[in-house]
């Protein structure tokens, strides 16, 4: 347990927040700090072919220790953290033998992590939790995944009696802003398939995710003195508000679950002259996803007719549901499922209400289901991770490597 805790705390202590407004890769210079540390660590523990390219993508190999042909498989995690909440000066706290009660994260600010609100906490009564101090996110998304992959490779190196084929690992920047797989060289990685260690609750095993798009709607107005504005002023704020109010009230993140899609307006800014609405669109079903995008296009066209073509729309796809690419090779999901079952972990197979690097990688030719990393309440001050879940994730990685060698 202690090596996992020490490694995880070392990783989360580095601020690696990504920036959606940057055009570089990585999107922030500070991501390089951890990237270079990881490069050195992978070399020091004995992995081979350790590389880091000019965009911060890290790859390494654990060579096969069997004398037969075994498919090369991979494990992938991202080292950036979400721009939604600060990751500066993370001060993780360790709660041993969690008693199932409310945890005071920050007495001064009265910030509390309560099982009355976050029911999943009760799953981990008696375990060791790593939590925040209430002022930052934790970074378990996805430094828990990195911790688990590095620890599993270190374990396999120390235990050559566990037979496995070639294992490739990859660490990526900028996943949180939807760019984690953009520059990932699948051919260079050279795996038949891979797994992202980027899920939440212990047992999660996912090979479906949202189809995703983002939209930016801009209204251009005309500012005139309000005392003389009749038939002259065009208030961009009013137009953007009118657009926002036209979206279905029930089809938002806070009122949907499981395979239900949504529209999510996450930013409204502006003045009389210029106002913008930024949103994301999500749906598991490709047909409904297309209908949602057509709804936005139709709404903008309708209101442009009403407001003299003063509205602009930028609508871009981000990623697609990986199920289409994984189902033809469903045995890779079955191997992960068997690994969990052998270890006494109940597989929780469900669609992701989000996306991972694996969704884009699957469409680039690397089928890539997602496995739990153990963290909860990502992207905010209530984030936590049970150490026992990280230990189990290490066990799952090791068992997948072993099972793959046995089955081929």
Task: Give mean pLDDT, residues 199-210.
Answer: 95
Phi, psi of 201 (to 5 degrees): -55, 145
Q: Is residue 175 annotated as a catalytic residue, yes or no?
A: yes
Q: Which of 154, 175, 283, 391 is catalytic?
A: 175
330 half-sphere exposure, CB direction, 13 A CA radius: 6
Q: HEC states along 134-146? A: CCCCCCHHHHHHH
pLDDT given for residue 71 in this prediction? 97
Q: Can you give the pLDDT at residue 357?
A: 86
Helix (H) or strand (E) holding 211, with range, is strand 211-220
Q: Return the bridge partners of 59, or none.
A: 51, 170
pLDDT at residue 408, as a whole number: 83
Q: Span 14-26, mean pLDDT? A: 95
Spans of all domains in the chain: 2-208+321-407, 211-319
Query: Residue 318: what pLDDT?
Result: 87
Q: What is the mean pLDDT of residues 26-31?
A: 97
Fold annotation for 211-319: Alpha-Beta Plaits (3.30.70)
What pLDDT does residue 401 have?
A: 98
- Secondary structure (DSSP) of 248-300: -TTSSGGG--TT--EEEEEEEEE-SSEEEEEEEEEESSHHHHHHHHHHHHHHH
Instruction: Report the alpha-carbon distance of residue 190 to residue 61 in Å, rounded.
Output: 10
* Separation CA 175–CA 245 (nearest Å): 31
Token pair for 374: 């153990």
What is the DSSP secondary structure assignment for residue 81, as one 8-state letter? Answer: B
Mean local confidence (pLDDT), 300-312: 96
Mind listing the pLDDT tens digit for each residue in 177-201? 989 999 999 999 999 999 999 999 9
pTM to 2 decimals? 0.89
List the beta strands (DSSP E) in 132-210. Answer: 167-172, 193-199, 204-206
Place of tokens 């704020």: 237
pLDDT at 355 over 80: no
CA-CA distance, 334 to 352, in Å (whole number)? 18
The one catalytic residue in 19, 41, 80, 174 is 80
Q: What is the pLDDT of residues 367-398, one digit of tens each?
A: 999 999 999 999 999 999 999 999 999 999 99
Measure the CA–CA gap between 130 and 302, rounded to whole angstroms.
51
Q: What span, in angstroms and rounded, lies between the C-alpha atoms of 47 and 44? A: 8
Polymer length of the chain = 408
Specify whether 142 is catalytic: no
Domain 2-208+321-407 matching CATH 3.40.50.720: the answer reads no
Distance CA 358, CA 186 (A): 11
Identify the residue whose tokens are 């828990």.
Answer: 144
């Amino acid at each position: 347990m202690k090596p996992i805790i020490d490694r995880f705390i070392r990783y989360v202590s580095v601020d690696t927040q990504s920036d959606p407004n940057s055009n570089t890769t990585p999107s922030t210079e500070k991501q390089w700090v951890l990237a270079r540390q990881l490069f050195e660590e992978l070399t020091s523990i004995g992995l081979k072919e350790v590389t880091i390219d000019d965009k911060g993508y890290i790859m390494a190999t654990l060579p096969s220790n069997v004398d037969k042909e075994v498919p090369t498989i991979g494990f992938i995690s991202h080292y950036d953290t979400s721009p939604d909440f600060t990751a500066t000066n993370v001060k993780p706290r360790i709660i041993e033998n969690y008693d199932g009660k409310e945890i005071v994260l920050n007495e001064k600010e009265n910030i509390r992590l309560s099982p009355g609100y976050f029911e999943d906490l009760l799953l981990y009564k008696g375990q060791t939790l790593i939590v925040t101090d209430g002022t930052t996110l934790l970074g378990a998304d996805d430094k828990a995944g990195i911790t688990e992959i590095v620890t599993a490779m270190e374990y396999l190196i120390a235990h050559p009696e566990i037979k496995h084929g070639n294992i490739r690992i990859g660490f990526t920047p900028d996943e949180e802003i939807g760019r984690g797989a953009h520059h990932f060289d699948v051919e260079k990685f050279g795996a038949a398939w891979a797994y992202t260690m980027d899920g939440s609750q212990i047992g999660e095993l996912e090979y479906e995710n949202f189809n995703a798009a983002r939209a930016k709607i801009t209204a251009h107005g005309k500012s005139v003195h309000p005392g003389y504005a009749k038939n002259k002023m065009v208030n961009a704020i009013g137009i953007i508000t009118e657009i926002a109010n036209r979206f279905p009230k029930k089809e938002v993140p806070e009122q949907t679950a499981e395979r239900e899609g949504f529209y999510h307006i996450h930013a409204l800014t502006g003045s009389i002259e210029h106002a913008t609405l930024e949103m994301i669109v999500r749906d598991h079903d490709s047909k409904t996803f297309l209908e949602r995008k057509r709804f936005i296009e139709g709404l903008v066209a309708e209101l442009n007719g009403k407001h003299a073509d003063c509205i602009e729309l930028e609508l871009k796809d981000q990623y697609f549901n990986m199920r289409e690419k994984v189902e033809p090779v469903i045995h890779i999901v079955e191997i992960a499922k068997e690994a969990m079952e052998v270890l006494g972990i109940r597989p929780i197979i469900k669609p992701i209400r989000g996306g991972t690097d694996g969704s884009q990688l699957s469409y680039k030719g690397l089928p890539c289901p997602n496995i739990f990393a153990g963290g909860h309440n990502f992207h905010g001050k209530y984030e936590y991770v049970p150490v026992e879940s990280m230990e189990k994730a290490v066990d799952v990685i090791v068992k997948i490597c072993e099972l793959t060698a046995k089955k081929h």
